[in-house]
């Protein structure tokens, strides 16, 4: 069933409200804060554990360069205990061998006969069918996943849906499928989905999608399935592009329809990985609680300009800014972050400009990003001008290895 926007969201989306929010703007009298919607509300920071999650990994089963077991062992060794192998549904295995980038003997023999019913749209799952140990033997959570590739890339989790290559971007019966059809197919299988790396859809690679296109996807598709967007992927030079898009969506959708931000490194080659990942805060390390956290935003994400070689036994790791606890006071007016290893905590709310990029078809100019409204450990919402319907925090540090950032998910702000 399609998700229906509230009247306020409808007015915002259609422009009828001209983006004059029912909240205070510049120079206006502030309204009282009614509530802060806290994605970490269920977290007991004393007892819950932080679990590194790699949610976007490629292997020889599509266009990656290594066997699944090498990828899984490499990330496991680097401290990850939640993983999704998200090979492209669209590609047959060993694409890099076919392209001549790897020798014949590097080819994966998997999947073995009989091929999965939905080959080549199948996910790389169960791992034991692809030469790896299964997640319980590795003391971790594995998530069945596919990168749905024929249209705007979409990562799907907790289900095995894939698009059929023989039929183009279509279902098994040859019916063409567009993004909403694809997300609906994931939803029917009780899966979760996120839109991947929007900057890839900018020139010269693809035709860039207008802002309205993204707005429509989150309006049309249920937040029970389309839970978020990749905000940090592998393109450092483009990171403000995806961050700006996220802010442009949050200012239109929060607090009623959250869009969670995900960090992934979209790894294709283990020794050319980038450090970008998500961290789930869980009462127990199970598929059920990982799924719950993914759906409710109970995680944060990290991104560094530092590159990491996961083929090394002891890769050159960096200490990311660490979140130890987040407290929202009972009156709903302050948010406080306790952390370590940061130089600065920046609080970011709505972008000043909500104008679309006019020449989006030819430009990869980023969408205007959210505005920093405060620095420091504690944010007092009532005392901080210009906060609108959401605020998010970034913990930042720079050192000789680069810049390292940890992002919270957005806190929704309801005004009285």
Q: How far is the CB of 30 from Zn ion (least distance, A)?
A: 42
For Zn ion, give the closer residue by CB, 303 or 397.
Answer: 303
Write down the least CB distance from residue 62 to Zn ion, Å.
Answer: 8
Residue 209 CB contacts under 8 Å (≥ 6 apart), including other chains: 152, 198, 201, 360
Q: Toward Zn ion, which CB reaches closer, 147 or 160?
A: 147
Q: What is the total count of residues that contact Zn ion (CB under 5 A)?
A: 4
Please state the closest distance from residue 266 (CB atom) to Zn ion, in A: 4
CB of 154 vs Zn ion, minimal distance in Å: 9
Closer residue to Zn ion in complex, CB, 184/266: 266
Task: In angstroms, give the least distance from the CB of 149 to Zn ion.
Answer: 6
Cβ closest to Zn ion, residue 9 vs residue 63: 63
Residue of this chain nearest to Zn ion (CB atom): 153
Q: For the residues of 227-251, what is the DSSP string, one character each?
A: EEEEEE-S-GGGHHHHHHHHHHHHH
CB of 415 to Zn ion, least distance (A): 38
> Could you say which residues in the range 88-117 bind Zn ion, by CB under 5 A?
none
Number of H helices, E strands in the chain: 7, 19
230 lies in the binding site for Zn ion (CB under 5 A): no
Tokens of 121: 């749209």
Q: How far apart are CA 41 and CA 296, in angstroms?
A: 10
**Across-strand partners of 288?**
none
Within 123-152, which residues bind Zn ion (CB under 5 A)? 147
| Closest C-alpha to 290, from 84, 110, 126, 94 | 84
Name the residue nearer to Zn ion (CB basis): 266 or 394.
Answer: 266
What mask, x for binding Zn ion by CB under 5 A, covers residues 14 to 53? ----------------------------------------
Nearer CB in complex with Zn ion: 160/196: 196
How far apart are alpha carbons 317 and 308 in whole angstroms?
Answer: 7
Residue nearer to Zn ion on the CB measure, 238 or 396: 238
The C-alpha atoms of residue 277 and residue 300 are separated, in whole angstroms, by 9
Nearer to Zn ion, 81 or 266 (CB): 266
Name the token pair of 342: 């940061």
Residue closer to Zn ion by CB (options 39, 150) is 150
Quote the Cα angle for 75-293-191, to 5°: 85
Would you say 153 or 404 has its CB closer to Zn ion?
153
- Give the shortest CB-86-to-Zn ion separation in angstroms: 6
Tell how far CA 303 is from the center of its chain: 12
Instruction: Name which position in 70, 76, 152, 153 contacts Zn ion (CB under 5 A).
Output: 153
Q: Coil, helix or strand for 213?
A: helix
CB 148, min distance to Zn ion, A: 9
Q: 3-state SS string over 260-303?
A: EEEECCCECCHHHEEEEEEEEEECCCCHHHHHHHHHHCCEEEEE
State which of positions 155-214 bind Zn ion (CB under 5 A).
196
Helix (H) / strand (E) containing 69 = helix 68-77
Residue 197: CB minimum distance to Zn ion, A? 6
Q: β-strand 322-328 against 411-415: which pairing, if any?
A: unpaired
Residue 257 in tokens: 């329809």
Per-residue mark of binding to Zn ion, 238-277 (x: CB under 5 A): ----------------------------x-----------
CA distances from 347 to 17, 111, 238, 396, 411 (A): 26, 47, 21, 11, 11
Asked if residue 413 lies in contact with residue 391, where contact means CB atoms within 8 angstroms, the answer is: yes
Note the residues at the interface with Zn ion (CB under 5 A): 147, 153, 196, 266
């Amino acid at each position: 069933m399609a998700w229906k926007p509230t009247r306020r969201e409808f007015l915002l989306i259609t422009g009828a409200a001209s983006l004059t929010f029912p909240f205070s703007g510049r120079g206006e009298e502030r309204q009282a804060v009614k509530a802060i919607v806290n994605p970490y509300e269920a977290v007991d920071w004393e007892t819950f554990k932080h679990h590194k999650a790699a949610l976007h990994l490629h292997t020889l089963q599509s266009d990656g360069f290594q066997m699944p077991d090498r990828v899984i062992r490499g990330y496991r060794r680097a401290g990850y205990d939640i993983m999704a192998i998200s090979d492209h549904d669209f590609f047959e295995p060993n694409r890099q061998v076919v392209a001549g980038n790897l020798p014949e003997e590097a080819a994966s023999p998997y999947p073995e006969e009989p091929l999965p019913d939905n080959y080549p749209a199948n996910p790389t799952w169960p791992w034991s069918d692809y030469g790896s140990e299964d997640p319980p033997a590795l003391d971790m959570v594995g998530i069945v996943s596919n990168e749905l590739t024929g249209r705007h890339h979409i990562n799907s989790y907790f289900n095995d849906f894939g698009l059929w290559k023989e039929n183009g971007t279509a279902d098994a019966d040859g019916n063409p499928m567009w993004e909403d059809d694809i997300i609906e197919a994931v939803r029917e299988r009780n899966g979760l989905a996120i839109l991947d790396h929007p900057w890839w859809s900018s020139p010269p690679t693809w035709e860039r999608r207008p802002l309205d296109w993204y707005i429509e996807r989150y309006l049309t598709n249920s937040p029970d399935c389309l839970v978020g967007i990749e905000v940090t992927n592998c393109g450092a030079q483009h990171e403000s592009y995806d961050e700006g898009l996220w802010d442009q969506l949050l200012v239109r959708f929060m607090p009623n329809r959250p869009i969670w931000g995900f960090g992934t490194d979209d790894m294709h080659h283990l020794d050319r990985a980038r450090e970008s990942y998500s961290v789930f805060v869980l009462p127990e390390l199970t598929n059920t609680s990982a799924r719950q956290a993914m759906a409710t935003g109970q995680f944060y994400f990290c991104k560094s300009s530092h590159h990491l070689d996961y083929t090394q036994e002891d890769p050159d790791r960096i200490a990311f800014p660490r979140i130890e606890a987040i407290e929202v006071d009972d009156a709903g007016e302050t948010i406080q972050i306790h952390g370590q290893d940061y130089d600065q905590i920046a609080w970011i709310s709505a972008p000043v400009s909500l104008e679309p990029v006019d020449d989006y078809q030819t430009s990869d100019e980023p969408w205007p990003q959210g505005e920093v409204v405060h620095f420091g450990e504690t944010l007092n919402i009532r005392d901080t001008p210009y906060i609108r319907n959401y605020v998010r925090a970034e913990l930042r540090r720079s050192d000789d290895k680069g810049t390292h950032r940890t992002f919270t998910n957005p806190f929704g702000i309801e005004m009285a």
